[in-house]
Structure 1
């Protein structure tokens, strides 16, 4: 099990960021985002992601704290293979409300949103990657988890994973990431027995 942010590298390093113990604080640059083509027609690849290496067959966990105030403010976790194969998940402010959001990009991006709980200023993400699939959960407390997405993703022997944040309509979203870990893929069943 790897914990903390040691050994990471930036994809689009912001001018303001710091690591203090197990806490990474990031302030976004102006008009940053990750998106590829679908519906909107544009390609944006200038969001901020602090990524660490991980071999296939892992579960990554992360705590995220932010105050989302501008449309499309977002923060969470990214899985990255290359500029055409990546996934971002977390909270995004859209149309005046906060949603848990997942964007899967396999050549082109898609976008799904849900609200299994409403208190989204401080939450946790869990991402399990193995054999060309990604399973994403979110939690308010780190004990009770809601499934956000099961997605197909490009199979590879290794990936990069870590915190991600963007602010497409402004600069200055401050995000505090903590409790980051990468360990063996979770063996918990996808569905609880009834």
Structure 2
């Protein structure tokens, strides 16, 4: 059972150029060049991505739903779980290799990146779920009402104060607009391989 989080309850990390409520959704415009990345391979640090964040306690999960309609290289949207500028995880849909990719970046001093193509998810409503239990963050995603897909299992200090919520970035240019349709929290998943209720 999840409970919707009002958009007004979040605090912006790097406020976007535009964010407005529309029929219960939140429509956000990303600044050109916005990104979240630390060092690996590219050699730069970027901490300019936009994220609407609220506390995520141990034993809780957060879900973010959005319409995946972006098409420029590296355009991305999903959920961000952040401890500080050197410790964070982002997961969602990102454009790479000419197609939407379901991916995650786990950052603990330096970033790593994993992805898998999901071209059939283009233009659909995607939900990303980050579940915090014990020393782990379990990431899952789905398109529409389809089945959940396991995306990543990442470490997260059980004593860390973390924030989480919807995020978006447009590293390569301006014009990325994302419609976030839902932000909710609830109990963490009871097991790594248990289906989400």
Work out whether the TM-score is over 0.5: yes
1:67 counterpart = 2:69: yes
Task: Report deviation, 1:28.
Answer: 0.6
Residues 21 and 187 of structure 1, relative CA distance in 2, 3 Å threshold: farther
Task: Name the counterpart of 2:32.
Answer: 30
Matches within 5 A, 1:32-181: 32-115=34-117, 118-122=120-124, 123-181=126-184
Measured in 2, the distance between the counterparts of 1:154 and 1:34 equals 20
- How big is the shift at 1:158? 3.1
Asked if the contact 2:61–2:185 (Cα under 8 Å) also holds between the matched residues in 1, the reply is: yes
Report the secondary structure of 2:9's partner residue: coil
User: Structure 1 97/126 Cα, relative in aligned 2: closer, same or farther at 3 Å?
Assistant: same
Dislocated runs of 4+, deviation >2 Å: 19-22, 115-118, 153-158
* 80-89 or 124-133, which deviates more: 124-133
8 Å Cα contact 1:106-1:154 kept in structure 2 = no
After superposition, the CA RMSD in angstroms is: 1.8
1:8–1:52 contact (8 Å) kept in structure 2: yes
Unaligned runs of 5+ in 2: none
Residue 121 of structure 2 aligns to a residue whose secondary structure is coil
TM-score, normalization by structure 2: 0.90
SS state at 1:91 partner: strand
The C-alpha deviation readout for 1:149-169, integer Å capped at 9, x for no partner, is: 111123335311000100100
Shift of 1:171: 1.1
Aligned length: 192
Which sections of structure 1, spanning at least 5 residues, go unmatched? none
